[in-house]
Structure 1
Amino acid sequence: MGHFSTFGDTEVLKVVEGWLSEAGLPFDIAPYAGKVRLGNPDWVDPRALDAARYSHLLVVCGPFSQKMYEGMADIFAAFAHCTWIGVNLTMVAPLSTFQPFDVLLERDSDRLVRTDLSFTTPVTQVPVVGLCLATRQSEYGARRRHDEAGTLLRDLIRARGLSAVEMDTLWPPETNRTLTETADQFTALAGRLDVLLTTRLHGLVLGLKAGTPVLALDAIAGGDKVTKQAGVIGWPEVVGIDDATPEGLSDALDRCLGDEARSSAKDCATRAAKVAGALRKDVLRSLAVAPGAHHVLPLPPARRLKRRIRRLFGR
């Protein structure tokens, strides 16, 4: 039994499971909380077990206190005939006041401190991706499909077992959903990713500038600026929401994780920077152009009325 409600808990559980399996001992895993049991269909409710079938009760990882013990008194009473073993526990109270175990191999208590068992599990390297999603974009009206696009990318992350970092390009910092406050911070983070997943045009641009392959999903029906930008710079990994499928996105992710993708991203960004920089002379030349007479546009009737009201009441 145990909390098993954090990654550390589940890593320690893996260790104990492995030791019991190696010893040829059958066991069941019974988290305290029902919401935790939802995470694994093989985990069981300790209150639903036939306690008479068991000879040992192992309580594994996390804090353990008299209050917690008393809150689950019915469970522990059912297993009173078992040998109780505490493994990798933090004993909150002094052992002189509370220590219910026949064998206590604690992580820490007032008598000793042991190294946490999660140090012993192997580290498996998984791809690290950034997720940078556009929101609102009301200018696209009924063509917006941002919720669908976000769901597709999140489902891709889960289906492929990726490690993901939420990213955002909004400025000023008060509007940013993350701790990113500048473009340099964004690109610094993007450069450490394996792939950036995005529905933002500037997610595409800043990711490629950082030399990171980008899987861009255009969230606008019919395609718009994300698709156009990818096309003009020659970046192939852009998918329109109309054509997006889980299988297609997974294939695009594989290409972004390929051996040549990182160098392709750097080359694409280098070419794009040269082309974009050529606009400098056009911008400077445009400063000599005289203003036209078409700048003042008639307001729609409703807006004219609102302006008159504001003038009348000084608002």
Structure 2
Amino acid sequence: MRVLVTGWASFVHGEATAGDVLSMSRVGAALTAAGIPHDMALSPVYRADALHLSDAHSERYSHLVFVCGPAHGHQVRSLHERYASCRRIAVGVSILDPGDAAVTGFHRVLARDGLSTPRPDIAVAASTTTVPVVGAVFAPGQREYGAARRHRSVHEALLRWLADLDCARLPLDTRLASDDWRQCRTPDQLASVFARLDAVVTTRLHGLVMGLRAGVPVLAVDPIAGGGKVTAQAAALNWPALVSAEDAVEAGAFDHWWRWCLSPAGRHRARRRDFPAADALTEELLDELRAGLPV
């Protein structure tokens, strides 16, 4: 016996949702625990390094298991043709049409809905590992800096690096809006998001400020050659995790400060909220205004 575990995440033109992949992983874990040899096929679009259906030859398998999602469509029907010699089982699927050849092609269907009383989706029992939740806050073009701008090269380097990190990336924008549900409408709403992050990666001054005022470590990257307002603000806030525009394009430029931000030392430093003379400008403004008051 050898089982091939498949699902919508196996198809080149399918879709790898978190629920699909979790369900497939849970089935794989159950097979491992039961001592049943198996392989899992994933789309090359989703995982280039995985086993793909094109390389999972039918003669290697006694069973094909299709996990999660709707049991319908030509891609599911193609599995019945390709793996005609295997016993085919669908598990945790939704049934839209019991007479569909995509459904009737299975020897056994263990549905989550559509055939009988609804049953819990397999993904609810799957194990996961918690990873850091990181807010990514990028500055706009900032034309006012003229030829010193390095936004494109800095952001390209950051995006390549972020894509390889094992973390949950949350794109954030400090711009508030009342006409777009995707944007926060008030500073309190955005501050509440920052307070729930594990770290912030930003090229924007207020990305640095919002992170540190929430006690969250920030990897700040200045997109201005020679240093702009991000560098100045990091100095004002006594925050060390800063990468210059010149260094950002170098290999491994962000790794040291990323590790430090997630370390106990980095987290402790952020929670200290060590901001010398944090309200100095407001006090200076009040002094200026008071100086003009009549005696």
**TM-score, with normalisation over the residues of structure 2?**
0.83
Residue of structure 1 equivalent to 2:241: 237
Tell me if 1:211 matches 2:219.
no
Change (3 A) 1:269 1:209: farther
Q: Is the 8 A contact 1:85 1:101 kept in 2?
A: yes
- Residues of 2 paired with 1:269 and 1:73: CA distance? 62
Tell me if 1:252 matches 2:257.
yes
Amino acid paired to 1:9: D
Change (3 A) 1:159 1:30: closer
Q: Which runs of 5+ in 1 are unaligned?
A: 289-315
Change (3 A) 1:238 1:52: closer
Matched ranges for 1:19-98 at <5 A: 19-31=30-42, 35-36=45-46, 39-46=47-54, 49-65=56-72, 68=73, 70=74, 73-94=77-98
1:13 alignment partner, one of 14, 19, 24: 24
Give per-residue Cα distances to partners, 1:183-235, cap 9 Å, x unaligned.
Answer: 22222111111111111111111221222222110001111111011112311
- Residues of 2 paired with 1:275 and 1:222: CA distance? 26
Amino acid paired to 1:101: F
Change (3 A) 1:168 1:114: same
Change (3 A) 1:53 1:261: closer
| CA-atom RMSD in angstroms | 2.8
**How far 1:73 moved relative to its partner?**
4.2
Change (3 A) 1:272 1:76: farther
Tell me if 1:120 matches 2:147.
no
Secondary structure class of the residue paired with 1:234? coil
Matched ranges for 1:121-136 at <5 A: 121-136=126-141
Give the structure with higher Rg (CA): 1
Amino acid paired to 1:51: S
Matched ranges for 1:129-144 at <5 A: 129-144=134-149
Q: Is the 8 A contact 1:194 1:212 kept in 2?
A: yes
Q: Is the 8 A contact 2:41 2:50 kept in 1?
A: no
Q: Which runs of 5+ in 2 are unaligned?
A: 1-5, 10-15
- Residues of 2 paired with 1:108 and 1:16: CA distance? 18
- Residues of 1 paired with 2:277 and 2:187: CA distance? 18
**TM-score, with normalisation over the residues of structure 1?**
0.78
Amino acid paired to 2:195: G
- Residues of 1 paired with 2:148 and 2:100: CA distance? 67
**How far 1:150 moved relative to its partner?**
2.0
- Residues of 2 paired with 1:131 and 1:269: CA distance? 23
**How far 1:282 moved relative to its partner?**
4.6
